[in-house]
Amino acid sequence: MFDKKPHTVIDQPEQPAGEPITVHTIPPDFYGGRSPLEPVIETGPAKAAPSRAVVGAAPSIPGQVTKIAPSKPAAGAAFFASHKKLILIGGIAFLVVFMGGASWYVIVSSRPPTPPPLPRPAGAPAPVAEVPSAPTEEVPPPEAPPPVKPAPTPLILPTTLPSTPDFDRDNLTDAEEALLGTDVAKPDTDDDTYDDAVELANLYNPRAEAPQKLKDSGLVRQYVNPTFRYAVYYPESWLARPLDETTNDEIMFTAVSGEYVEARAIPLAAGQTFAQWFVFQFPNVPLSSLQTFTNRLGQDGLKTADGLAAFFPGQNFIYVLVYNVGTRTDINFKALFNMMVQSFESAPKPENIPLPVASPAPLPETTIVSESESVTTPETVVAPETTPTAPTPTTLPGPDEQPIPETVAPSP
């Protein structure tokens, strides 16, 4: 804008004398904001007007018309005119950055100030900087502990209860007759001169002529404990299962009626005798109330007066058979429980317990009771291939009147 500009004089034709001279100059309005590209032409007599001296320019000659070329626009205005778009974009960008910074400042300044840390109580240990530990190998989680076996139920002696009806009075209840398939109206189903209850107690088949063994009749099964290796017969239709298969120390023989026989193997403490164990278990039951006996397979034991619990002392264990009626108020299977007691067999060493293979002992003496007197007549059991020959007993006394002798000499 302030650069030196050359003075250009445009030749004009000579003006006649006495005519006014027209001079074109930069109008003063140029300095008031008018565009220099709009020339102002003044006509009339020549007036002396102030003008800027042009260094190096020829002086104006009166009577001549001098044309002055319009000056170029300022350099800043020209730059702005040619770069208007870039300047506009830059201005918008600056405005966006400015607004973003202002927003950030407002957000940061609006946050509540962080409270200063609480003063550490006097005497408290200084905080220890946490040191990152070295990576360790992943350790698998420990295995879950085995389930704890619940404590065994206390051993309770059964209560003496009446038996269910016995129509033919052969000491087998009608329920037992139905389970064994014997004749409920006939004391001696197989007509071999031995009442059904007598044959069952001596481990013979009450449905076949003596001396067919009970274990070969299909009426019973033999359970052998896999841990304690004792063996016992039980009715074929009953369910035998351990309460805990990992120990097999409690076995339940359950009837359809809900009654069951419980077989237990109870360990003895070091140096403990059966008498000490019994007094500790049943402090209210006199030891003298137990009856000693030897069952049909030669196993010595003791039983309660009602015959509903039996104990077989061993070297390290006491084997117990207990009858449980469940929720009933009478007893269905007392003769079958006695059959289980008579068939129980154990030994000091488990590997020496074979399945019973020997024939049961022969039938014992029976007592014939008449209306006038009672006499004891020995029964004769001949060799297995023949049938016994003896008068048929008319009446067999109940187990409470005349118990079956526990020891009988084996047959030859």
Render pLDDT for 152-183 as a digit per residue (tens, 0 to 9). 567 888 888 999 999 999 999 999 999 999 99
Nearest-angstrom CA–CA distance, 303 and 322: 10
Residue 371 has pLDDT above 60, yes or no: no
Q: Which H or E run contains 264?
A: strand 260-267
Q: Output the average pLDDT for the chain.
A: 74
- Which three-class secondary structure state does DSSP give residue 321? strand
CATH class of 174-361: alpha beta
Higher pLDDT, 260 or 3: 260
Q: Cα–Cα distance between 147 and 143 in angstroms, integer?
A: 12
- C-alpha to C-alpha distance for 192 and 199, rounded to whole angstroms: 10
Please report which helix (H) or strand (E) contains residue 234, including its range. strand 231-235
Average pLDDT over residues 219-236: 94
Is a pLDDT exceeding 80 seen at residue 299? yes
Pick from 404, 327, 345: nearest CA to 161: 327
pLDDT for position 357:
42
Most confident among 25-34, 61-70, 147-156, 310-319 (mean pLDDT): 310-319
186 pLDDT tier (thresholds 50, 70, 90) = very high
Average pLDDT of span 80-105: 82
Q: Is 80 exceeded by the pLDDT of residue 266?
A: yes
The per-residue pLDDT for 94 is: 86
> In angstroms, rounded to a whole number, what is the distance separating the alpha carbons of residues 219 and 233?
10
Bridge partners of residue 265, in order along the sequence? 319
d(CA 138, CA 128): 26
Which of 122-126, 285-289, 345-349, 386-390 is modeled with the greatest confidence? 285-289
Distance CA 390, CA 198 (A): 15
Which of the residue ranges 196-210, 312-326, 390-404 would you say has the lowest mean pLDDT?
A: 390-404
Query: What's at 74, amino acid-wise?
Result: A
Residue 112, CA distances (Å) to 108, 109, 117, 118 in order: 9, 8, 15, 17
User: Which of 115-124, 223-232, 269-278, 364-373 comes out lowest in average pLDDT?
Assistant: 364-373
Task: Using the predicted structure, report yes or no on whether residue 193 has a pLDDT greater than 60.
Answer: yes
State the burial class of residue 157 (Cβ atoms within 10 Å of its Cβ: 0-12, 13-18, 19+).
middle
pLDDT digits (tens, 9 = 90+) for 376-407: 333 433 333 434 444 444 444 444 444 444 44
**Residue 210, C-beta contacts closer than 8 angstroms, at least 6 positions apart:** 192, 194, 199, 204, 363, 381, 387, 388
Taking each helix axis from N to C terminus, what angle separates 75-82 and 84-110, rounded to the nearest 10 degrees?
Answer: 80
Q: Which string of b and e fits 368-400 if b means at least 16 CB within 10 Å? A: bbeeeeeeeeebebeeeeeebebeebeebbebe
Percentage of the chain modeled with pLDDT above 70: 55
- Strands of 268-407 (E only): list them: 291-294, 300-303, 309-313, 317-324, 366-369, 374-377
* pLDDT tens digits along 30-55: 555 555 555 555 555 555 555 554 44
In angstroms, the CA 327 to CA 258 distance is: 8
Who contacts 66 (Cβ-Cβ below 8 Å, separation ≥6)? 9, 10, 12, 23, 24, 60
DSSP state, 216?
A: G
pLDDT of residue 88: 83
Q: Range(s) for CATH 3.40.1000.10 in the chain?
A: 174-361
Q: What is the pLDDT of residue 110?
A: 75
Is residue 164 within 8 A of residue 330, CB to CB? The reply is yes
Q: Which whole number is the average pLDDT over 233-257?
A: 95
Locate all alpha helices (DSSP H) within 228-365, ordered by sequence: 274-281, 334-343
Measured CA to CA, the distance from residue 320 to residue 308 in angstroms comes to 11
Main-chain dihedrals φ then ψ at residue 398, nearest 5 degrees: -70, 165
